[in-house]
Amino acid sequence: MSEQRKRISEALRVCAETGVPETAAPWPEIRDRALAGRRSRRRSPRRSRFVPRTRSGLAFAALLVMLFGAVGFAATGWINELFEDFAPEVQEANLSVQLNEKQTVDGITFTLERAYADEDNVVVGYSIEGFEDWSDRYPTTGLSVVTDGSDGAFEYVGGGGMGTDPVYDTEGGESLSDLAFFEPSNKLDPSAKHGFRFELKPNPKAERGGGQDGSPAKAADKTLVFDFGIPVHEVDVIEAGQTVEANGIPITLERVENSPARTEAILCFDPPRDDEYTWIPVVPRPDIAESDVFSNESLYGAPPEEEIGCVGYDLFRSIYDEPGRHTLTVTRIEGRSPSADDPRLMVLRERIAGPWTFEFEVPER
């Protein structure tokens, strides 16, 4: 084992043991979650995947590969996987539009594969093929842009190498597929066709940190432009207006905005000692994977700019197509303030326990 590897291993051990001391498993909580899951598990629509298991299925897959080419088939497959993982309701309802617009720069093919839009979201799936070695940089600058000719801006909220790791497939050629998520500053009007422009900036060979030989970094010199038209789907707004008080603090679930791409809950409250901290409600997942309504993670919201004292939560997945009653429980609120060392860092200062439990109804469609 090299000295460097030893030191990294040892450092990780120290971080893990310092961050998480030896602790007994919280068995009652685990047991309750396990049993609750078993009781409440219901048949959820499984994602359809084409996984050939029979000889005829394999023959069909082989035919598809021959027809569309191995690499193209792989890339499209990845886009479907990404939609399944990050926008499953869009995928299941087949709401994204196949575009398949290609542009080639320096032998590298950039393909706008699929896109989806609703009043609050634009999701663009693209792939990049034909590159050689991307081991230390992304093939794009990470700056992808959506516009629609209006004054409204589209905030880039994920994908493209930020947060989510792009999917690489090095078998049968180097390729990369990614979803880029955007939020319009103004709600889009539902329509059968809305014009968008997607811009992608390729990353020249020496873009990141200069060339291997120490030469200066080159600026990206070309922006790829894809114009496309797709429907804008409606978003359901469920007005909840429900206030619950715990520990002397009332919190209101104002509404739930429910689209195939994303379900967002808007919670509003008067933060305690609001001159000291920024207070954020924390919403852990109420049940387990097979019947999850919200998340297997704690959710932290970001305050919508237009609503002072309110916090919007992207739930772990959309419940657009899940009519019936749903619950949302805030287990605690956390007060944070900037670090003295680095004001960009928000440091946890105080926790106040709840719970605040809300109910709302997703209507049948």
Partner 1 sequence: MDEQGAVERLKAGDIGGLEAMAELYYTRATRVAYLIVRDRALAEDVAQGALVRVYESIGSFDASRPFGPWFTKIVVNDAIKTASRRERTVSFYEGNTEDLLGRLADPETGPHESAEKAETSRRVWRALEQLPPAQRAVVVQRYYLGMSEAEMIGLGASSPGTVKSRLNRARKSLSKLLRPQFRGEEDPPTDRERPVAVGALPDPCAEEEIR
Applying the rule CB under 8 A, the residues between 149 and 178 that interact with partner 1 are 157-159, 161-165, 167-171
Q: What does the alpha-carbon distance between residue 32 and residue 287 come to, in Å, rounded to a whole number?
A: 9
Paired tokens of 314 = 């992207």
Helix (H, G, I), strand (E, B) or coil at 101: strand
Residue 365 CB, nearest approach to partner 1 (Å):
26
The residue (of 82 and 362) whose beta carbon lies closer to partner 1 is 82
Q: How many residues does the chain have?
A: 365
Instruction: Give residues 229-288 in contact with partner 1 (rule: CB under 8 A).
Output: 278, 280, 284-285, 288
Angstrom distance (rounded) from CA 247 to CA 355: 9
User: What is the contact mask toward partner 1 in residues 73 to 92, using x (rule: CB under 8 A)?
Assistant: ------------x-------
Q: Which of residues 123-152 bind partner 1 (CB under 8 A)?
A: 134-136
Rounded distance between C-alpha atoms, residue 32 and residue 42, angstroms = 17
Minimum distance of partner 1 from residue 154's CB (angstroms):
16
How many other CB atoms are there within 10 angstroms of residue 267's CB atom? Answer: 24
Q: Nearer to partner 1 by C-beta: 102 or 336?
A: 336
Using the minimum distance from each CB to partner 1, give the nearer residue, 194 or 332.
332
Query: Any contact of residue 23 with partner 1 (CB under 8 A)?
Result: yes
List the interface residues with partner 1, window 190-219 (CB under 8 A).
209-210, 214
Beta bridge partners of 128: 110, 176
Q: If we measure between CA atoms, which residue out of 72, 180, 206 comes closest to residue 126? A: 180
Which of 316, 287, 288 lies closest to 300 in space, CA to CA? 316
Tell whether residue 63 is a contact of partner 1 (CB under 8 A).
no
Q: Which two tokens stand for residue 36?
A: 């609750």
> Does 308 sit near partner 1 (CB under 8 A)?
no
- For position 11 contacting partner 1 by CB under 8 A, the verdict is yes
Name the CA radius of gyration of the chain, rounded.
Answer: 23
Of 151, 221, 341, 364, the residue at the interface with partner 1 (CB under 8 A) is: 341
Question: Site for partner 1 (CB under 8 A): which residue of 59, 63, 70, 302?
Answer: 302
Closest distance of CB 128 from partner 1, Å: 14
Residue 364 makes contact with partner 1 by CB under 8 A: no
DSSP codes, 235-256: -EEEEEEEEEEETTEEEEEEEE
Distance of closest approach, residue 331 Cβ to partner 1, in angstroms: 10
